[in-house]
């Protein structure tokens, strides 16, 4: 018998489906202890019924040891880095794990395949990372260790994306908002987890639709968050809006147990010095660029433009230079010089050239130096200069947030080939 696929996009239907005990995440098949398959088969996330309840209790016990306010302070003050790395390192440190940096590196490898279904089991790097993590979780019981790894994996990409999306939204928003309202609206407008998937273990019914045993169900969270019957003017980013909580963190009995921790970690990272935001943006761009020597020469269409590796690097550099010129002119009390970039509309013959190792080396030197100039400059400013900046235009703190949006150009090309990963 073939199974059907049902998709729900309305807020009320998504809520109903999330609460339906007959709709559960697809179970994971097992594998040898310490492998990726074993991890997926042993965590709460892909379990159901009493086994889910038992594993969820393990997660809740771990999370109860972590005070969200302390996490926020730790995420705001620890070493700089990409948001995902700060999230995992902060949690690992707070759980008392040794070598939190190496744990964060291993968790990012596991996170790359954790949600990929059983097909992801074949990833040797992920297997090696799980095997490395298992004895380092300070747990005698493998099930406790697996769920501690699961907790860190669940936190990694979702919270990192929330930070990226909130920075982008803040950079585009005409007025400044509190971190809390900014995060709440970002969770609705641009959710880190855009869809959830279920399989029917028994026949059931959602919004009048009959779902047979074995059918697959997609819950479109991003669409539900913009349901016009629930949110007024849903396509507008409005941190001051009111409305019911979004299904971004899921629903009982599987609602994200780390939601308060996620908000605290994201707020802590957003509290960090603005110079770091620019450095983290460039780090993200260069991580992707490291794979672009494998580019096949075909431009990537995004929105109404096309992008190539050279064009992405050019746009990121132009953007950094453009606002740097503006900030320096305003600090010097002079008029900013108008720019004459061709911007993204034009694709030059040079943009279409192959992206070689020498180009990559130049990109590293150029962009990392520009980022350092920005962060040295921003770090030397007083809080008043950052928030009530001289001259007309955005505050310099907001300019830094706006620059975080430059990842757009690099994301247009994306990750093109596996690079050598650091498997501890
Ligand atoms: C903005 C960031 C986050 C978002 C949007 C998010 C969202 C979600 C969602 C939607 C689920 C339920 C999945 C489903 O029902 O299929 C979930 C589960 C889970 N989340 Fe989060 N999460 C975030 C951050 C975190 C953090 C920081 C932690 C830990 C500190 C965490 C730990 C977990 C765990 C352990 C589960 C599995 C719970 C279970 O299976 O019962 N999450 N998360």
Domains and CATH numbers, the chain: 22-193+229-240+255-270 (1.10.630.10), 274-413 (1.20.120.450)
Chain-wide mean pLDDT for the chain? 93
pLDDT at res. 419: 45
- pLDDT above 90: residue 245: yes
* Distance of CA 155 from the midpoint of ligand 1 (Å): 7
Distance of CA 100 to the CA centre of its chain: 19
* CB neighbourhood size of 251 (10 A): 18
- 159 within ligand 1 shell (Cβ under 6 A): yes
pLDDT at res. 271: 86
Task: Give the long-range contacts of residues 27-35, CB within 8 A, separation 24 or more.
Answer: 28/118, 29/118, 29/121, 31/121, 33/134, 33/142, 34/127, 34/130, 34/131, 34/134, 35/121, 35/127, 35/130, 35/131
- pLDDT above 60: residue 424: no
d(Cα 6, Cα 12) in Å, to the nearest integer? 15
pLDDT band for 121, please (50, 70, 90 cuts): low
- pLDDT above 50: residue 50: yes
pLDDT band for 174, please (50, 70, 90 cuts): low
d(Cα 1, Cα 252) in Å, to the nearest integer? 31
- 193 within ligand 1 shell (Cβ under 6 A): yes
pLDDT, mean of residues 382-400: 89
Number of continuous H segments (helices) and E segments (strands) in the chain: 17, 8
Ligand 1: which residue has its CA nearest to atom 7? 249
pLDDT, mean of residues 34-49: 96
- 89 within ligand 1 shell (Cβ under 6 A): no
* Distance of CA 74 from the midpoint of ligand 1 (Å): 20
Mutate to test the pocket of ligand 1, among 56, 58, 258 (most ligand atoms within 8 A of CB): 258
- 88 within ligand 1 shell (Cβ under 6 A): no
């Amino acid at each position: 018998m073939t199974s059907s696929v049902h998709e729900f996009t309305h807020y009320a239907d998504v809520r109903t489906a999330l609460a339906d005990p007959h709709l559960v995440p697809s179970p994971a098949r097992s594998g040898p202890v310490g492998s990726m398959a074993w991890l997926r088969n042993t965590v709460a996330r892909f379990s159901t019924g009493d086994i889910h309840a038992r594993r969820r209790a393990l997660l809740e016990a771990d999370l109860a040891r972590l005070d969200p306010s302390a996490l926020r302070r730790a995420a705001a003050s620890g070493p700089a880095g990409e948001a995902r790395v700060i999230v995992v390192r902060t949690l690992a440190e707070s759980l008392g794990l040794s070598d939190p940096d190496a744990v964060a590196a291993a968790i990012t490898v596991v996170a790359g395949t954790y949600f990929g279904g059983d097909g992801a089991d074949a990833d040797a790097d992920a297997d090696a990372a799980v095997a490395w993590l298992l004895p380092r979780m300070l747990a005698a019981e493998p099930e406790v260790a697996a769920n501690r790894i699961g907790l860190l994996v669940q936190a990694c990409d979702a919270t990192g994306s929330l930070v990226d999306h909130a920075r982008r939204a803040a950079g585009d928003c005409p007025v400044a908002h509190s971190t809390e309202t900014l995060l709440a609206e970002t969770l609705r407008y641009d959710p880190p987890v855009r869809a959830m998937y279920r399989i029917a273990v028994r026949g059931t019914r959602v919004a009048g639709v009959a779902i047979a045993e074995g059918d697959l169900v997609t819950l479109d969270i991003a669409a539900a968050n913009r349901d016009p019957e629930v949110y007024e003017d849903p396509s507008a980013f409005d941190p001051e809006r009111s409305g019911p909580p979004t299904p971004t963190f899921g629903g009982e009995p599987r609602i994200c147990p780390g939601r308060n921790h996620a908000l605290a970690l994201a707020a802590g990272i957003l509290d960090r010095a603005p110079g770091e935001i620019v450095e983290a943006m460039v780090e993200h761009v260069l991580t992707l660029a490291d794979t672009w020597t494998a580019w096949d020469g075909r431009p990537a269409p995004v929105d109404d433009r096309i992008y190539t590796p050279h064009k992405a690097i050019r746009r990121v550099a132009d953007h950094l230079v453009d606002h740097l010129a503006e900030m320096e002119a305003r600090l010097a009390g002079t008029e900013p010089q108008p720019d004459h970039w061709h911007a993204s509309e034009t694709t030059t013959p040079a943009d279409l050239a192959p992206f070689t190792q020498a180009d990559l080396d130049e990109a590293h030197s150029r962009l990392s130096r520009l980022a350092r100039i920005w962060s040295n400059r921003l770090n030397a400013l007083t809080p008043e200069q950052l928030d009530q900046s001289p001259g007309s235009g955005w505050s310099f703190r907001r300019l830094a947030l706006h620059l975080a949006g430059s990842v757009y150009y690099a994301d247009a090309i994306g990750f093109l080939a596996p690079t050598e990963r650091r498997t501890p």
